[in-house]
Amino acid sequence: MDGKAQILQQPLIKIPPTFFNLYFIFVSLPKKNHTHHPLLQEKRFALSLIDWYQQGHRALPWRATHDPYKIWLAEIILQQTRVVQGMPYYNAFITQYPTLHDLAAASETEVLRTWQGLGYYSRARNLHTCARLIVDKQEGVFPNDYKGLLQLPGIGPYTAAAIASIAFREAVPVVDGNVLRVLARIFGITSPINSSQGKAVIQEIAQQLISIPTPDVYNQAIMEFGAVQCTPQKPACDTCIFHADCIAYQTQQVEILPKKDAKVKIKKRYFHYLVLQLGDKLLMKKRPKGDIWQGLYDFYLVEADKPYAAKQLSDELLTLVHQHQLEIVKYPWEAKHILTHRVIYASFFHISLPTTFMEVVAPLLQQYAMEAVTMEAIQSLPKSVLICKFLNAHM
């Protein structure tokens, strides 16, 4: 018997049906083109997703409107923020600034105070700047297309797509963290989603998926799907309407996808705050441009390369304090405050300033724009969460 006959007489291996499904998917996908996935045929993915969404989704106030102001406000608030955390802020802004003109008429300090505690304060400053620009330059009317929205300060591709599609029904896809995760898993995208290649593939698929008559509903549906079904941790794959076609699920890569390039190194910073008291007032200053918490108020700050005792710190004000033998009392409270790419280690020191000392130190305090503020007035100033926690604990 020759070799060919021997091979033909070997028992057949039973191949599970799932294999053929995956084989079809992988064979039909060119190496750099994922748009031949079976879910893309005859709009299967989009239509199934919209049906899933319409059967039951979270009732959120910005979903019940096509007002670009409210949609814009919600999308800015929800950047880097969970819905449960962002909802009170959305309601507060709508109550305090019910229209774009109301927001534009407010001061930056008022806007920052309303935003206080939400973090990423550049969002609030851009929100205010954008509102004023639309009122001053465009008669209070939002651009009604994606390209026009992109020209506004603080509005990037994602926010522009959300407003354009939901408010004006323009067929432009939103691509946020939820969408990236959903598409990377279902379509088996192994390129890092924060790489240029990964972004290009995702964008290509996203654009094809949204070519339907209801881009507003579709975009909200895919964001909802990523938020409640295809979650970052422990996604509900067993009840997922796409698990039969999901490459990540079928190849056991759900915990691996999406992939990301290495994160930016976290920087440690050491803040030593001098809580300067003058009678019943505290001295505070507005933080300058070019650093975290721009426009928020805090105390006199000495930053160093590691934690120090007050007598070890090198600073012009502390030199004068030591020369005049003023008492420095360290608060029994230290904080570790985590930001996106930084960790702040903060300690606080109390110094009571006599009137005679103020005559000596006044020029230095003016240089740093320090203001004497009552505790009542401090409550209305915009402050970082770190400063709020300190005040709540000790004042």
Tokens 């009604």, residue? 144
Separation CA 250–CA 254 (nearest Å):
9
Q: Which of 143, 109, 190, 122 is nearest to 378 (CA)?
A: 109
For residue 357 the two structure tokens come to 């000392």
Hey, what's the torsion of the CAs at 384, 388, 394, 395, to 10 degrees?
110
Q: Is 84 helix (H, G, I), strand (E, B) or coil?
A: helix
Whether 395 contacts 379, CB under 8 Å: no
Q: Where are the alpha helices (DSSP H) in the chain?
A: 3-8, 17-28, 44-54, 68-77, 83-96, 100-105, 108-115, 122-137, 146-150, 157-168, 177-186, 196-209, 215-228, 247-250, 316-323, 355-367, 375-379, 385-394
Q: Is 359 a catalytic residue?
A: no
For residue 211 the two structure tokens come to 């070519």
Q: Provide the pairing of β-strand 342-352 with 267-278.
A: parallel
For residue 318 the two structure tokens come to 């502390």
Whether 345 contacts 270, CB under 8 Å: yes
Separation CA 161–CA 145 (nearest Å):
9
Q: Is 282 helix (H, G, I), strand (E, B) or coil?
A: strand
Residues 6+ apart with CB under 8 A from 335: 344, 345, 346, 347, 386, 389, 390
Q: Which residues are designated catalytic?
A: 75
